Structure 1
Amino acid sequence: MLGWSLIFAVLAIVAGLLGFIGLAGLAATVAKVLFVIFLVLLVGSFVIRAVRGQSVL
Structure 2
Amino acid sequence: MLGWAITFLVVALVAAVFGFGGIAIASVGIAKILFFVFIVLFIITLVARAVRG
TM-score range, shorter chain: over 0.9
Moved over 3 A (4+): none
Alignment of 1:1-57 (within 5 A): 1-53=1-53
Alpha-carbon separation, structure 2, partners of 1:34 and 1:17: 22
Alpha-carbon separation, structure 1, partners of 2:21 and 2:10: 14
* Higher normalized helix content (fraction of residues): 2
Q: Give the unaligned 5+ runs of structure 2.
A: none
Alignment RMSD (CA, Å): 0.3
**Cα deviation, residue 2, structure 1:** 0.3
| Count of paired positions | 53
- Return the TM-score normalized by structure 2: 0.99
Alpha-carbon separation, structure 2, partners of 1:10 and 1:16: 10
Alpha-carbon separation, structure 1, partners of 2:3 and 2:23: 19
Sequence identity percentage: 49
Q: Which has the larger radius of gyration?
A: 1
**Cα deviation, residue 23, structure 1:** 0.3
Instruction: Indicate the structure whose relative CO is greater, using CA pairs within 8 Å and at least 6 residues apart.
Output: 2
Q: Give the unaligned 5+ runs of structure 1.
A: none
- Return the TM-score normalized by structure 1: 0.92
